[in-house]
Amino acid sequence: MHDNARFDTRAIHAGQEFDPTTGAVIPPIYATSTYVQDGIGGLRGGYEYSRGGNPTRTALETQLAALEGGATGLSFASGLAAEDALLRTLLAPGDHVVIGNDVYGGTHRLIRRVHGAWGVRHTTVDTSDLDAVRGAIEPGTKVLWIETPSNPLMKISDVAALAELGRAAGLLVVVDNTFASPALQQPLALGADVVVHSTTKYLGGHSDVVGGALVFAAGLGDAPGVGAGSGRTELADLAERVTFTQFAAGAVSGPFDAFLTSRGIKTLGVRMERHSSNALAIARRLEEHAGIERVFYPGLESHPGHELAARQMSGFGGMLSIALAGGGAAARRFAESTELFQLAESLGGVESLVNYPSEMTHASVKGTEAEVPESIVRLSVGIEDVDDLLADIDGALARLASVE
C-alpha cells in the first residue's frame, strides 16, 4: 500500500498483509495465549504473551491508526476500557476534566463515579459553545473531552477551534469519534490529540462484537504549553505510557474480537454512505410530521450545527434523534411501535435500532446535569432498503396519531 493511499484503500489494506507462511490473503486469527521462545528471551516477531501483544490485534491496531491518521493505535476490550486506560494514565487526584454535557452516558458515569471516587474532578459543559468551554477551564484542568456529533442530541462542536483553545490552555484534547467514524470525520487532522472509539458501533458495524480503541496523534513537541506542570504531555510519550497501562492493567481485545473488528472496518466507507443517505431521508420524513416537535440531525438545514458539520465532516452519519410533541408518553409509544427498527441499546450496526435514552443508554445520568429529556427518541439508521425503513417510520407515526 502506498503511504498516500486514500481512506477506503487504507481501511482495506493497512495492517492486513497476507500470511507469509501460507499466502492466506487475510491475516489469521492467532488464537494463542503465548509464544514459543528460541532460547530464553528469543522472541519471534516480538510476541511473548497475548496480553502484551497478539498479531491479530496488531493488524487491527495498525488499521486503526491508519484510519484516523494517527501515530499509534491501541485496541481494547470495550470503548469504556479504552477511555479508562487513557484517563487513569493521565490523571491524578485533584486533576480536572472538562466534558461535554451531552456525551455517552457511560463516559459521564466513568468520569463522575469511577475517576471521581479517587478525586478526579470534572465540569460538564456544552462544548458547542466555545465561551462556555473557555469559562469551564481551571488551573487544574488536564483534559478537554469532546463528543461530536453528541449523544443523543446531535450537537456539533467545532473540533478545530476547541483544539486550538485546548492547546493554548495546555490541555489534552480528546475526541470521541464513535458517532461520525473516521470515514466522515478526522479529528486528529483538525488538531485533536487523541481519538477514542467504541468500535462496538460503526467500526465493527455488525452488532456482533464489543471493543474500543485509542488513536494518538504524532508528537507535539513544538506546541506551546508542553512541558513540566502542563496537562499537555508529549503525545508519543503519552502513547507509550497508555500502551504500558494496556499491558499492565490488561483490558485488551482478544484475537477473535480483533478479527471481527478488522473485518468490519473494511466496509466502513460504503456503509457510512448508505447510513448517511438513509438517515437523511428519514430525518426529512420525520421533520414533516406534526407529532414530531423537533428532529436532531446535522444533515438538515434546520440543524444549528449544519454548516459546521458540513465543514468538518464529509457526511452526516446514521444517527438522529427526535423530540416527540406528545412528550414522554408519546416518545415511549413511538419507541415501542416500530418493527424494523428494533428496540435496543447500542448503535452503528447494519440493522436499524431505536432507543429511549432517558431510560436506556442515558439512564445512568438521570438527575445529573447531563440528563436527557423524556420526550427524546434516538434512532440508529441501518443500511436496509430505505423504502422499508420509511414505511416502518410511517407506521409508527400513524400509530402515534391514532392514540392522540
Ligand X SMILES: *Cc1c(COP(=O)(O)O)cnc(C)c1O
201 annotated active-site? yes
Residue number, 175 or 400, with CB nearest to ligand X: 175
Instruction: Give yes or no: 30 in active site.
Output: no
Q: Which of 78, 101, 148, 262 binds ligand X (CB under 6 A)?
A: 78
Binding segment for ligand X among 103-111, 130-138, 275-283, 314-322 (CB under 6 A)? 103-111
Q: Which residue in the block uniquely carries the three cell numbers 473516521? A: 182
Q: Which of 56, 62, 89, 178 binds ligand X (CB under 6 A)?
A: 178
As measured in angstroms, the least distance from the Cβ of 237 to ligand X is 25
Which burial class, exposed, middle or buried, applies to 389 when counting CB atoms under 10 A from its CB (0-12, 13-18, 19+)? Answer: buried
Does 251 interact with ligand X (rule: CB under 6 A)? no
Residue 144: DSSP 8-state:
E
- Rounded Cα distance, 30 and 32, in Å: 6
**Cβ-based nearer residue to ligand X, 196 or 396:** 196
How far apart CA 254 and CA 29 sit, in angstroms, is 10
Query: For cell 473488528, what's the residue?
Result: 261
Q: Given 201, 271, 332, 378, which residue is catalytic?
A: 201
Binding-residue total with ligand X (CB under 6 A): 16
| Alpha carbon distance 85, 197 (integer Å) | 13
Q: Among residues 85 and 295, whose Cβ is nearest to ligand X?
A: 85
Contact 198, 346 (CB under 8 A): no
Q: Examine residue 191 and tell whether it contacts ligand X (CB under 6 A).
A: no
Nearer to ligand X, 57 or 201 (CB): 201
Site for ligand X in 143-162 (CB under 6 A): 147, 151
Q: What's the CA gap between 181 and 217, in Å, rounded? A: 16
Q: Is 155 one of the catalytic residues?
A: no
DSSP string of 285-327, one letter each residue: HHHT-TTEEEEE-TTSTTSTTHHHHHHH-SS--SEEEEEETTH
210 contacts ligand X (rule: CB under 6 A): yes
Q: Which grid coordinates belong to 285? A: 420524513
- CB-nearer residue toward ligand X: 148 or 337: 148
106 binds ligand X (CB under 6 A): yes
C-alpha cell belonging to residue 28: 489469521
Q: Distance between CA atoms of 170 and 172, rounded to whole angstroms?
A: 7
Q: Is 101 in the site for ligand X (CB under 6 A)?
A: no
Q: Which residues bind ligand X (CB under 6 A)?
A: 78-80, 104, 106-107, 147, 151, 176, 178-179, 198, 200-201, 210, 212
Give the residue numbers marked as catalytic.
Answer: 51, 104, 176, 201
